[in-house]
Amino acid sequence: DIQMTQSPSSLSASVGDRVIITCQASQSINKYLNWYQQKQGKAPKLLIYDASNLETGVPSRFSGSGYGTDFTFTISSLQPEDIATYYCQQYDNLPYTFGQGTKLEIK
């Protein structure tokens, strides 16, 4: 199985801050990486697909980059409604594994 290592596991930032989360795959997954947002008590929501494509309707302050084994998720200006846990997931090789999640809090 491909291991997905997310960093950090938790993060506290202020409104307006730039927030960066990384995800590293144990082997190359090409561009097949998604980022999801899960708010407390809710189902996850797709934000970024194919590493860098913004899902329709998702605010442009969210972005992603990377290829191969190293990926980055960025919130350019943190908003209060961005409080959530964020997960990466690879879908290049079965089983399609998730990272362990990054819990984002507002300072």
Site of interaction with other proteins (CB under 8 A)? 1, 32, 34, 36, 38, 43-46, 49-50, 53, 55, 85, 87, 89, 91-92, 94-101
Token code pair at residue 30: 């090409």
Q: Which is nearer to other proteins, 13 or 54 (CB)?
A: 54
- Element spanning 70, H or E: strand 70-75
Q: How far is the CB of 23 from other proteins (least distance, A)?
A: 13
Phi, psi of 80 (to 5 degrees): -60, -35
Q: How far is the CB of 15 from other proteins (least distance, A)?
A: 26
Q: How far is the C-alpha of 52 from the C-alpha of 70, rounded, in Å?
A: 12
* Residues linked to residue 62 through DSSP beta bridges, in sequence order: 75
Q: How far is the CB of 61 from other proteins (least distance, A)?
A: 20
